[in-house]
Amino acid sequence: MQNPKTLISEDEIRKRVDELAAQISLDYADKGELVLVGVLKGSFIFLADLSRRLSIPRHIEFIAVSSYRYGSTRSGAVRLVMDMRRSIEAKNVLIVEDIVDTGHTLDYLIKMLKSRNPASIRTCTLLHKEHSAEVDVQIDYCGFSIGDEWVVGYGLDYDEKDRTLPYIGVIEPDD
């Protein structure tokens, strides 16, 4: 595995997370508690930084899904691995993702969570690979649009490596 080449610096990430938190805080001001649903594992660093910067009441839940994968290729099938512990009925929900690539995972989550009768559902992703989309999903808050590179760091990994890098780096997968 090679050393990742920096795509988005730690300072750029910090600035953009500040901007996203300010916009989300403004949009949800006077709407009661916001439920942030972090999609594990990749969103945990982004979610932590984003939630600390919000100026509104919030509650954090986690959910884990698995996209079936063969090497570095995704099949599009998604399954629930770990569910949230509290109900989201009549609550404002913000799904927090690390990256939206094909859109299959986010589409699955939106449909599943809508069936639980929240007051609203919006989406926030740190990274969006617009040109990789196979499913049209609404992204309400986006940190950065990127190309089709394989990225690691700030929660994202390749084979459970490089997840804790403080920046977003590009690598070439081994397979």
Q: Is the peptide bond before 15 cis (omega within 30 degrees of 0)?
A: no
What number of other Cβ atoms are within 10 A of residue 88's Cβ?
19
Contacts with 84 (C-beta within 8 Å, 6 or more apart), sequence order: 37, 61, 62, 63
Active site residues: 101
